[in-house]
């Protein structure tokens, strides 16, 4: 269980990152590494080039802008967990990040990394979707904003281009009724199914190839979750109904 | 990088995981390797004081940082660290394979929560797997470690 060979790059500026992403053949960005390094160890991922962004200066800020909160690419999940600013402006994000794996993983894992990785069972993409947030993507030639609704393209797939860096995620300020509930076999495991409520909005995770918005009055309509050793499709649908009721009872 | 206060050059091969670098290149075999995908917690070390999985980091990424392994908690000729002492007193181990990882996770936990609640203890050790003790004595050890640390 060792990573396959790759060429290692450790740029120190966003411009340098973008130049590398634009010129290298088959690059992969390494941020917190809490999903990517297991994939390398399992050899499920074999990128030719790893672009480690951990040495980039000025990419670890949380700040307020445009009526919300911006989280840059190197902000660790544990920093969000401890942030008074996040707790005040977007408490749903504070609640959600505590459900991401374990503190030891969150000490290294990043918010933007979770979003770019786009695991359909992970919490933060669903939070971004429920709140109607967005991400900022940088490349050597341009900078663009991608709304959450246009970001998640499939299982572990986003609409980011290979030469783009997800430099920042933006979550709108939200003080309304909110909840995040999930069911997992053990604390810190990936959710069998989960729901995020932001006032009247409902986003589901773990039950489709991407996080999905759903109707709170009929949350399982159109859903066809997969089954595995831990949960059947029927059980996942049952969980969605129960968790949605719980989220809207609050 | 500095490991337990001693400066070391980074490995030549960027593929080298921090866990393997500590064990094979530096001879610090107290850091155990279980699953190598971040689930078991046996390889937990401190990076600049925060507990992290050493199997989920490349050793080159630790360049410029301070790594603390279980060997760095107490001097060979000195008393045990409070967390080690508590695991000893409460018999928070049987075979001992998972113990260094638990100890390092608990050092990180107590830095965050010096007086952890029962739930904080449970969440704090939830990322470490033990297949012998059943966790009851480990939970007691964490509570005892908090007491010893406060003294």
**Domain ranges for chain A:** 7-52, 62-172, 178-249
Distance from CA of B32 to the nearest CA of A (A): 14
Asked if B54 and B105 touch (Cβ cutoff 8 Å), the reply is no
* Per CATH, domain B2-72 is 3.10.20.30: yes
Angle (deg, nearest 10), helices B99-112 and B118-125: 140
* Number of C-beta neighbours around residue A27 at 10 A: 21
Distance from CA of B124 to the nearest CA of A (A): 7
Q: How do the domains of chain B map onto residue ranges?
A: 2-72, 82-150
At the topology level, CATH places domain B82-150 in DNA polymerase; domain 1 (1.10.150)
Q: Which of B33, B59, B61, B118 to mutate to test the interface with A (most CBs of A within 10 A)?
A: B61
pTM, entire model: 0.96
Stretch A156-175: mean pLDDT: 97
Choices 3.40.50.980, 1.10.287.470, 3.40.50.720, 3.30.465.10: CATH for A62-172 = 3.30.465.10
> In chain B, what is the straight-line distance between the N-terminal and C-terminal CA atoms, in Å?
32
Report pLDDT for B133.
81
Is the Cβ pair A41, B124 closer than 8 Å? no
Mean pLDDT of chain B: 96
Residues of chain A contacting B38 with CB distance shorter than 8 Å = 34, 37-38, 105
Residues of chain A contacting B124 with CB distance shorter than 8 Å = 103
Q: Tell me the torsion sign for CA atoms A238, A129, A223, A229.
A: negative
Average pLDDT by stretches of 10, chain B with 151 residues: 97 96 98 96 98 98 98 96 98 96 98 96 96 92 97 88
At the topology level, CATH places domain A7-52 in 3.30.43
Asked if A121 and A191 touch (Cβ cutoff 8 Å), the reply is yes
Tell me if chain A has a CB within 8 Å of the CB of B75: no
Tell me if chain A has a CB within 8 Å of the CB of B50: yes
Residue A250 pLDDT level (bands cut at 50, 70, 90): low
Please, what CATH class does the domain formed by A178-249 belong to?
alpha beta
Domains A62-172 and A178-249 share a fold: no
pLDDT digits (tens, 9 = 90+) for A14-73: 999 999 999 999 999 999 999 999 999 999 999 999 999 999 999 999 999 999 999 999
Distance, CA of A239 to CA of B15 (rounded, Å): 41
pLDDT digits (tens, 9 = 90+) for B5-40: 999 999 999 999 999 999 999 999 999 999 999 999
Report pLDDT for A187.
85
Asked if B36 and A1 touch (Cβ cutoff 8 Å), the reply is yes
Distance from CA of A111 to the nearest CA of B (A): 16
């Amino acid at each position: 269980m060792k990573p396959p060979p790759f060429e290692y790059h450790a740029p120190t500026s966003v411009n340098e990152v973008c130049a590398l992403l634009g010129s290298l053949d088959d690059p992969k960005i390494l941020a917190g590494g809490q999903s990517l390094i297991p994939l390398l160890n399992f050899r499920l991922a074999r990128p030719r080039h790893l672009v480690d962004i951990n040495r980039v200066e000025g990419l670890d800020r949380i700040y307020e802008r445009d009526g919300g909160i911006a989280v840059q690419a190197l902000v660790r999940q544990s920093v969000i967990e401890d942030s008074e600013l996040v707790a005040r402006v977007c408490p749903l994000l504070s609640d959600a990040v505590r459900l991401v794996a374990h503190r030891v993983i969150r000490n290294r894992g990043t918010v933007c990394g979770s979003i770019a990785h786009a695991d359909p069972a992970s919490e933060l993409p669903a939070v971004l979707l429920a709140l109607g947030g967005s991400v900022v993507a940088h490349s050597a030639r341009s900078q663009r904003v991608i709304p959450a609704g246009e970001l998640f393209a499939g299982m572990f797939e986003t609409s980011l281009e290979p030469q783009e860096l997800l430099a920042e995620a933006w979550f709108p300020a939200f003080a309304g009724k909110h909840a995040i509930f999930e069911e997992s076999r053990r604390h810190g495991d990936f959710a069998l199914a989960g729901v995020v409520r932001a006032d009247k909005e409902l986003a589901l995770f773990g039950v489709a190839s991407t996080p999905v918005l759903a109707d709170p009055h009929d949350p399982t309509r159109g859903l066809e979750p997969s089954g595995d050793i831990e949960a059947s499709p029927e059980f996942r649908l049952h969980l969605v109904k129960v968790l949605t009721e719980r989220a809207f009872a609050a | 990088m500095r490991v337990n206060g001693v400066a070391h050059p980074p490995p030549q091969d960027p593929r080298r995981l921090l866990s393997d670098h500590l064990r094979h290149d530096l001879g610090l075999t107290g850091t155990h390797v279980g699953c190598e995908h971040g689930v078991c917690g046996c390889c937990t070390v401190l990076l600049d004081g925060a507990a992290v999985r050493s199997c989920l980091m490349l050793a080159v990424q630790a360049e410029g940082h301070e790594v603390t392994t279980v060997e760095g908690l107490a001097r060979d000729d000195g008393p045990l660290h409070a967390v080690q002492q508590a695991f000893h007193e409460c018999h928070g181990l049987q075979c001992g394979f998972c113990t260094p990882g638990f100890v390092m996770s608990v050092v990180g936990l107590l830095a965050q929560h010096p007086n952890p609640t029962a739930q904080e203890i449970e969440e704090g050790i939830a990322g470490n797997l033990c297949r012998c003790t059943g966790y009851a004595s480990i939970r007691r050890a964490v509570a005892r470690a908090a007491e010893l640390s406060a003294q």
